[in-house]
Amino acid sequence: MEHPLLIDYGPFPGWFILLILGSGAVSFFIYQVSKATRLVLLGSPDDRFDSWGLRFKELMIGWLGQKKVLRDKIAGTMHVLMFWGFLMLGTDMFDLATANFFSNNIIPNLLVGPWNGIVELGYTSALIGAVAALTRRVAFTPEKLKGKSQVEGNFILFLILTITSTSFIIESKENPLAWEPIGVWVESMHVSNSVAIVAYWAHMIAILTFLILIPMSKHMHLVMAFPNVFFHDIEPMGKMRPLALTETGKAVSLEDLDIESFGVSSYGQYTWRQLIDGWSCTSCARCQDVCPAYASGKSLNPMQIIHDIRDYANEHAPILLKGGQPEETMMERITEDAVWACTTCNACVDVCPLYIEHVPKLTDLRRNAVMETMEYPEALNVAFGNLESASNPYGFGSHERADWAADLDVKIGEPAEYIYFVGCAASFDERNQKVARATISLMLEAGLDVGILGMQEGCSGDPARRAGNEYLFQMLAETNLTTFQELGVEKIVASCPHCFHTLGKEYGDYGGDKLEVFHHTEIMAKLQEENKLPALDKNGKSITYHDPCYLGRMGDIVDEPRSVLGGVDVEVERHGKDSFCCGAGGAQMWMEEDADKRVNKIRAEEIAATGCDTVAIGCPFCSIMVKDGLDSVGSEMDVKDVAELLWEQIVAKDEEIQSSKSSNS
């Protein structure tokens, strides 16, 4: 059969028709991509040009290998089939648009067969993926898609079905080789030339239509995903950036800090990398599915945040591209309710297959609201005031910080190999003081040289920083670091994951890069391995464990607490790095929450569903929130920190030994 491009259709040859249609589609595509790129480049500078080896590695695993996509086994597999399929079939465009000139004159004869086989495999893979995806959407509609328009997604899948199915008809007319079994099979059906010609033009028109739709839809991620993954944040998850950096990459001290604006108010104050996110989103709703604020009925939807930024840019493009500034601020577009609902649990960031960074967009808006416009939840004023005057959000005097340890033989304000950074909750909250006593007692029992800072300890600054008060955070950080330096502190143990994260992951920017920071469950697990602490005897109790977000997902401390417990009897449905937030993070502990929209109630119901006697905790705030949540759902489960469970066992055995001695005497 003569190639459809070489046939005349009235006064016009096929190649001329394709040239006109293709030029229009390609021109439109280039214009839209260029426009999006110009809008992205309006963002402020962001140095993401380091660690090339690490970035290429993650690109191969995350983009090519589809690591995060495959975390959703069903939808992920369908997407991977289409993604890899299009990668394999992509080169066929050279043949289709040149009347087979590419395969006949460019590719060596030895490679023509294998190349055609790979192309057919690509079409087959994409076809299977598209059929499965369309069937799922129509016959087994996921809950998150119900009630929402599926026209765009279904139409794209229809185009993919058209592209893939017609390819086999076209192939059957080009003397398919053994490398192309489907083409050989279709050839045996003796499809007419006219049908093959129609199939060719349907194929090409579908491709060109797809090309036009890409920059106008969520499928713009086909263009932006590559740079988005490559330039992802290689810093520890959840690590916030200082207000300003010196040439050495460290934070500018408060004394030398001289900047005119704080955080983000306008579109261009977001960095170019943050803005790419807007065009990379696939609207898969994975972030929405794991967001505790969204699940509890609040105004925050992390997927919508990303859409808001892209929509803002497109709607205001004429003004932005001329260097103007729209009257609408980013806070007005995203809304205050959404910004202040975030718990900064980073579940959205962790689950996103395209490495979109949702949380920094919200914390940057908070910085502007707190330090520039002064428009933030009034409830935070109490915590801010207490942090500034007493270095803790509760407002207690610093002289009371070590009262809980008055009867313990522990160094206070003296040099020691390990400094236990108690944290504000364990210093002043009666419930969590028991955790501090248990932690110190275990470390002393194991023979460690350990001390506490007492009144010299100040808040790590986490509540201030997550709430947007960066000035206050830096003041607290610099004060603590001065204390560390004076006492020669090198190793820190923290039972609060927020302190663990802030001290270990963020203080390095302010001069604390040589600090070794451990969570108390890490130390306990290590001491058990060294036989300096006993294994936990559950005494017939069944124990589950709640993973704190800042410890498991963001700190990668998942196995150690379970090791201390001797394993978990029943895991909560969402656990490990997929754990569900207790609701206290992101300074939510110090803000008001609607009674009917409480995150901790959702988590408590999941924990209670395990049917265990006890839930072990590794965070003071989680302890408070989980206990309140369990009470609200009528559960009588015990809530104990991992350290408490182990120390209670040691105390019980000591009492048993003493009792036995008394009986014998």
The 3-class SS string of 304-333 reads HHHHHHHHHHHHCHHHHCCCCCCCCCHHHH
Mark whether 423 and 500 lie in a shared domain: yes
Residue 353 lies in a domain: yes
Judge residue 583's burial from the number of C-beta atoms within 10 Å of its C-beta, 0-12 exposed, 13-18 middle, 19 or more buried.
buried
Residue 281 lies in a domain: yes
Strands of 491-494's sheet in order across = 411-412, 450-452, 418-421, 491-494, 516-519
d(CA 499, CA 251): 19
State the pTM of this model.
0.92
Per the CB < 8 A criterion, the answer to whether 616 and 545 are in contact is yes
Average pLDDT per run of 10 along the chain, which is 665 residues long? 92 95 96 97 94 95 93 90 93 92 91 93 95 87 72 90 95 90 94 95 96 92 95 96 92 92 96 97 94 96 97 97 96 97 97 97 98 95 96 95 94 96 96 96 96 97 97 97 96 98 97 96 97 93 97 97 96 97 96 88 97 97 97 96 96 73 57
Residue 379 lies in a domain: no
Token pair, residue 395, equals 């407002």
Mark whether 32 and 58 lie in a shared domain: yes
Among 373, 399, 432, which residue terminates a domain?
373
Q: What is the DSSP string of 178-235?
A: TT-HHHHHHHTTT--HHHHHHHHHHHHHHHHHHHHHGGGSGGGHHHHHHHHHHT---S
Residue 110 lies in a domain: yes
d(CA 139, CA 143): 12
Among 222, 256, 283, which residue terminates a domain?
222
Mark whether 209 and 278 lie in a shared domain: no
Residue 444 lies in a domain: yes
What's 280's domain CATH number?
A: 1.10.1060.10
Least Cα distance to 257 among 434, 401, 473 occurs for 473
Mark whether 363 and 399 lie in a shared domain: no
How far apart, in Å, are the Cα atoms of 328 and each of 207, 313, 331, 346, 368? 38, 11, 8, 27, 15
Mark whether 506 and 550 lie in a shared domain: no
Residues 6 or more apart in contact with residue 183 via CB below 8 angstroms: 116, 120, 168, 171, 172, 174, 176
Mark whether 369 and 392 lie in a shared domain: no
Mark whether 516 and 639 lie in a shared domain: no
Residue 186 lies in a domain: yes
- Report residue 313 CA to chain centroid gap: 23
Token pair, residue 406, equals 């008055």
Mark whether 459 and 549 lie in a shared domain: no
Mark whether 477 and 560 lie in a shared domain: no
Per the CB < 8 A criterion, the answer to whether 263 and 374 are in contact is no
d(CA 622, CA 585): 9
Say what angle helices 359-368 and 272-280 make with each other, to 10 degrees. 130
Count up the domains in the chain and report the number: 4
Tell whether the torsion through CA atoms of 399, 404, 407 and 408 is positive or negative.
negative
- Quick one: DSSP state of residue 79? H
Least Cα distance to 557 among 477, 495, 629 occurs for 495
pLDDT at residue number 480: 98
Mark whether 330 and 467 lie in a shared domain: no
Mark whether 512 and 421 lie in a shared domain: yes
Site of tokens 């006697």? 613
Per the CB < 8 A criterion, the answer to whether 404 and 489 are in contact is no
Per the CB < 8 A criterion, the answer to whether 100 and 3 are in contact is yes
pLDDT at residue number 586: 96
Domain that holds residue 343: 267-373
Residue 242 lies in a domain: no
Residue 237 lies in a domain: no
Mark whether 511 and 547 lie in a shared domain: no
What's 404's domain CATH number?
A: 3.40.50
Token pair, residue 75, equals 């939808």
pLDDT at residue number 657: 66
